[in-house]
Amino acid sequence: MLIEDFKLERYFAKYEFKAKYLLSSSDCDGYSLDYILSLATPDEQKLWKNLRFGYTESSGSDFLKEEIRKHYSTISADKINVMSPGEANFILMNILVNSGDEVICQRPSYQSLYQVAVSLEANLKFWNCRADTKFYIQDLEEIISSKTKLLILNFPHNPTGFVPTNTELMQIIELASKYNIFIFSDEMYRMLIHDEKDEIPSVCDIYENSACLWGMSKSFGLSGLRIGWICTHRKDLLDKIASFKDYLSICNNAAGEVLSFIALRHWRDFIIPNKNKINRNKEIFKGLVSKYDNFFEYHDSKGGSTVLVRQNTGMSSYELAEKIINEIGIMLVPSEMFDYEDNHLRIGLGRENFPEALKIFDEYLSEKFL
């Protein structure tokens, strides 16, 4: 299979570890090993101290899957396969998509959600967000049909931060059910809902013909563990996932499983601080946008750790991002990295030093554009 370069990841590879500030990261600050272990109970500490670096169970260790299933209402441990998030997406696309299949994916979107399907010669359609960075059900109704085999969702959405209401989510499910369409739901930002009243369920808990992805990278601030999982009621799909995985990672890293288990048991100590930080940074960012309202258009987000802002500086977003990284060392992600127009920037709200970086950005904008 020939596949195009992953634009966003190549862009991060170029600047992520050279920039003074990352103002577009999709994750939250990583928690330390000491922090994770400080939360562990004596039994959890014992599990860590007795760790051996042998092979783990291919689908994930039983103790980890048992803890994962507690975060769902209809998923049992035998309906879970643990693997790295990127691997999960790659496996699912290869299992679900054949040449000529019609696939619908949101746009803008994380490239791997659609690029693997394109490389498998799928017929790709995009469900585009509108100028207010929202996705409207009527736009999906216009492109979905009995020819559609797969619908790819991502809520909370990266990069817009869009979250549907429960009513809107059920309308999507009803559409998929009408045509017996399989849903792959990327839920990596699950539980990072800014206001609890906007919480939505996992798609696998309300629609059996689906598979859902979650993991430690975004919600928990533990991207370095490289632990995620697929949940599905489809046993036939789980069997195919297991067989395909034998050609990739085979099994998970033993330390990552134990640390993920501890974090899942103490999830509030990871997710709540991240939500508080995101909400704080979002309010600070709103202040900057209002100051430069001639150059930036921002629509409020409801979830996740990223937002998408339209810029009107007279430059393409790529040109603007290159200028800023070279002149003041702040990395921004231009919308070209999402194959989406050339006038938006992704802003990441999950970093503790966001106010410091935004102050420098503010000073730069004041000097160049006011």
Mean pLDDT of 28-41: 98
Contact (Cβ atoms closer than 8 angstroms) between residue 157 and residue 124: no
pLDDT in tens, 242-278: 999 999 999 999 999 999 999 999 999 999 999 999 9
CA dist 318 and 336 (Å) reads 7
Residue 225 confidence (pLDDT): 97
pLDDT in tens, 62-77: 999 999 999 999 999 9
CA dist 26 and 219 (Å) reads 10
pLDDT in tens, 204-252: 999 999 999 999 999 999 999 999 999 999 999 999 999 999 999 999 9
Task: Pull the structure tokens for residue 117.
Answer: 């399907």
- Is the per-residue pLDDT at 131 higher than 80? yes
Residues 6+ away with beta carbon under 8 Å from 290: none
Looking only at the bridges linking them, the beta strands covering 210-215 and 102-107 are: unpaired
- Is the per-residue pLDDT at 367 higher than 80? yes
- What three-state secondary structure class fits 187? coil
Strand partners, 298: 309
In percent, the amount of the chain with pLDDT more than 90 equals 98
- Is the per-residue pLDDT at 120 higher than 70? yes
Residue 370 confidence (pLDDT): 65
CA dist 230 and 212 (Å) reads 5
Task: Pull the structure tokens for residue 106.
Answer: 């949101």
- Is the per-residue pLDDT at 167 higher than 70? yes
Residue 117 confidence (pLDDT): 96
Residue 368 confidence (pLDDT): 83
Residues 6+ away with beta carbon under 8 Å from 15: 325, 331
Q: Is 209 exposed, middle or buried (0-12, 13-18, 19+ CB in 10 A)?
A: middle
Tell me which H or E stretch contains 105. Answer: strand 102-107
Q: What are the chain's domains?
A: 7-32+269-365 (3.90.1150.10), 51-266 (3.40.640.10)
Largest alpha-carbon pair distance within the chain?
60
- More reliable by pLDDT, 338 or 368: 338
Handedness of CA 33, 35, 41, 42 (dihedral sign): positive
Q: Between vectors from CA 295 to CA 159 and to CA 325, what angle results, nearest 5°?
A: 65
